[in-house]
C-alpha cells in the first residue's frame, strides 16, 4: 500500500467517510407523522455520502483513497468502490453491522432519509493516525458528517498540511464548533448554509456571511435546479445551466456527484467556473437515474453531455 501511494509524489485525495447500504422504497408521498403507507418498489443500493463522493471522484478520473469501516454485511460495498477505481485498503472491517439507511423516494423524485450509523461510528484514533501517516502536505482530505472523529481528523490533517474539503451533511448543530476556518473548501446546500451562517435570506447574503466568517476558505453553495454559487474573499461566481430535459427520477447522491466532479475538475487546474459547470452536468445525470452510487456517471458520459449542451 505505502508503495502504491508513496512513490513519485503527486497530489492524492483521501476521503475518510461513510459507507452505507441504502434500503430504498418508492412511496406515493413522503410519509407524514402518525401515518402508515404501503411502500411500492423496494431496492437495495450501495450508498453513504462518503462512499458516493469517492465513487464520483474516481469516475471523474481522480486518484482517490477511501477510508472507513464496514461489517461483514458490507463487504460488497468495498468491492463496488474498487470496481469504480477507488483504492480501498483503508476500509476496515469490524464485528458489527454496516451503516444503513431507510430512504423514501416520491413520484417527484424527492427523498427522505433515516440514517443508522453502524460501522461509520466505529473508526478509532489509531486507524485515523495510521491512515493519515500515509499522506503528506499538499494532499487533499475529503470529509462529510456521517462518521465519528471528524473534528479530530480536521485538526490532525491540518497540522500535517493537508487541504481539507468538507461537506457538512447531514447538518448537526455541533458542526458549528468544528475548526471550519482550517478548510480549503466548504460545500453546502441551502439548509446547511443557512444553519452555518445563522441567517435566513437570499443565497447571495448567506454566502456573503459564510465567506466573511471563514476568510480564505472556498465556499460553494449548491442550490439544486437553481444552480450553485461560489465565493472566496471578494470573488463570486454563479452558475446555472438550463434544464437539460432529463427526467427527475431520484435526487439521492446528486450533491455527492456535484462535490466529486467539482473537486476533481478544480484540482485538475480548470477554472472554478468550469468545475461548477462540469459538476452541474454530472449531477443532472445522477438525478435522472435511480439509486445512489449506481447513478453516478463516468467522465465520458459527462463530457458527451457537455458537448451536446454546447451545441
Ligand atoms: O447523499 C446520499 C447518501 O446519503 C445516501 O447514499 C445515503 O446513504 C445517505 O448517507
The DSSP symbol for 202 reads: -
CA distance 264 to 268: 6
With the CA atoms of 68, 72, 78 and 80 taken in that order, what torsion angle do they form, in degrees rounded to the nearest 10? -140
Q: Map residue 70 onto helix, strand or coil.
A: strand
- Grid look-up 508503495 returns 3
Interatomic CA distance for residues 20 and 198, integer angstroms? 30
Angle, helices 75-83/49-60, rounded to nearest 10 degrees: 20
Supply the DSSP string of 111-137, one letter for each residue: EEEEEE-GGGG---HHHHHHHHTT--T
- Spacing, Cα 94 to ligand 1 middle (Å): 21
Ligand 1 site residues (CB inside 6 A) read 18, 20, 22, 47-49, 52, 101, 113, 115, 146, 252-253, 255-256, 292
Nearest CA to ligand 1 atom 2: 253
* Helix, strand, coil share (%) of the chain residues, nearest 5: 40, 25, 35
Burial of 23-34, coded b for 16+ CB within 10 Å and e otherwise, reads bbbbbeeeeeee
Whose Cα sits closest to atom 6 in ligand 1?
A: 47
pTM of the predicted model as reported, rounded to 2 decimal places? 0.94
Atom 9 (ligand 1): residue with closest C-alpha?
A: 48
State the catalytic residues.
256
pLDDT in the model for residue 250: 87
Q: Is 233 left (phi over 0), alpha (psi -120 to 50) or beta?
A: left
- Which pLDDT score is estimated for 299? 97
Angle made by CA atoms 43, 45, 51, in degrees to the nearest 5? 165
* Angle at CA of residue 192, ends 257 and 234, nearest 5°: 85
Tens digit of each residue's pLDDT, the chain (311 residues)? 444 444 345 789 999 999 999 999 999 999 999 999 998 899 999 999 999 999 999 999 999 999 999 999 999 999 999 999 999 999 999 999 999 999 999 998 888 999 999 999 999 999 999 999 999 999 999 999 999 999 999 999 999 999 999 999 999 999 999 999 999 999 999 999 999 999 988 999 999 999 999 999 999 999 988 999 999 999 999 999 988 888 988 888 999 999 999 999 999 999 999 999 999 999 999 999 998 999 999 999 999 988 887 66
Whole-number Å distance between alpha carbons of 207 and 199: 10
Rounded CA-CA distance 270/283 in Å is 18
- The whole-number pLDDT of residue 4 equals 43
**The ligand 1 atom nearest the CA atom of 293:** 6
Give the model's pLDDT for residue 88: 98
- Which residues does 270 contact at the CB level (< 8 Å), separation at least 6? 278
How many CB atoms lie under 10 A from the CB of residue 298?
Answer: 15
pLDDT value, residue 6: 43
pLDDT at 225: 86
- Ligand 1 atom closest to Cα of 254? 1
pLDDT at 311: 60
pLDDT computed for residue 7 by the predictor: 39
What pLDDT score was predicted for residue 261?
98
Q: How many other CB atoms are there within 10 angstroms of residue 104's CB atom? A: 19
From the CA of 292, how far away is ligand 1's center (Å)? 7
Q: What is the 3-state secondary structure (H, E, C) of 223-288?
A: CHHHCEEEEECCEEEEECCCCCCCCCCCCCCHHHHHHHHHHHHHHCCCCHHHHHHHHHHHHHHHHC
C-alpha torsion angle, residues 301, 101, 255, 41 (rounded to 10)? 50
Ligand 1 atom 8: the closest Cα is on which residue? Answer: 48
The closest of 287, 256, 250 to 103, measured between CA atoms, is: 250
Q: Which ligand 1 atom is nearest residue 103's CA?
A: 7
Q: Is cis: bond before 107, omega within 30 of 0?
A: no
Ligand 1 nearest atom to the CA of residue 52, by list position? 6
Amino acid at each position: 500500500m505505502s508503495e502504491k501511494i508513496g512513490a513519485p509524489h503527486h497530489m492524492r485525495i483521501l476521503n475518510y467517510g461513510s459507507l452505507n447500504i441504502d434500503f430504498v422504497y418508492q412511496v406515493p408521498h413522503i410519509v407524514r407523522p402518525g401515518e402508515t403507507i404501503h411502500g411500492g418498489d423496494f431496492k437495495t443500493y450501495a450508498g453513504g455520502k462518503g462512499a458516493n463522493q469517492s465513487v464520483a471522484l474516481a469516475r471523474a478520473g481522480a486518484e482517490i483513497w477511501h477510508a472507513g469501516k464496514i461489517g461483514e454485511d458490507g463487504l460488497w460495498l468495498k468491492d463496488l468502490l474498487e470496481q469504480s477505481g477507488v483504492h480501498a485498503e483503508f476500509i476496515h472491517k469490524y464485528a458489527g453491522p454496516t451503516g444503513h439507511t431507510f430512504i423514501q423516494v416520491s413520484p417527484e423524485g424527492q427523498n427522505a432519509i433515516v440514517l443508522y450509523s453502524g460501522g461509520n461510528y466505529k473508526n478509532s484514533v489509531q486507524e485515523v493516525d495510521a491512515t493519515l501517516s500515509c499522506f503528506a502536505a499538499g494532499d487533499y482530505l475529503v470529509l462529510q458528517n456521517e462518521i465519528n472523529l471528524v473534528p479530530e481528523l480536521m485538526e490532525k490533517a491540518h497540522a500535517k498540511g493537508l487541504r481539507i474539503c468538507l461537506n457538512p451533511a447531514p447538518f448537526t448543530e455541533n458542526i458549528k464548533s468544528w475548526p471550519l476556518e482550517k478548510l480549503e473548501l466548504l460545500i453546502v446546500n441551502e439548509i446547511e448554509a443557512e444553519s452555518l451562517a445563522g441567517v435566513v435570506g437570499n443565497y447571495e447574503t448567506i454566502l456573503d456571511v459564510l465567506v466573511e466568517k471563514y476568510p480564505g476558505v472556498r465556499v460553494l453553495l449548491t442550490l439544486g435546479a437553481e444552480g450553485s454559487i461560489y465565493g472566496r474573499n471578494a470573488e463570486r461566481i454563479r452558475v446555472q445551466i438550463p434544464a437539460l430535459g432529463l427526467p427527475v427520477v431520484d435526487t439521492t447522491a446528486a450533491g455527492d456527484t456535484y462535490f466529486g466532479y467539482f473537486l476533481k475538475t478544480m484540482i485538475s487546474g480548470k477554472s472554478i467556473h468550469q468545475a461548477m459547470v462540469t459538476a452541474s452536468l454530472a449531477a443532472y445525470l445522477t438525478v435522472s437515474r435511480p439509486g445512489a452510487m449506481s447513478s453516478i456517471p463516468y467522465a465520458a458520459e459527462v463530457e458527451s453531455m457537455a458537448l451536446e449542451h454546447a451545441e
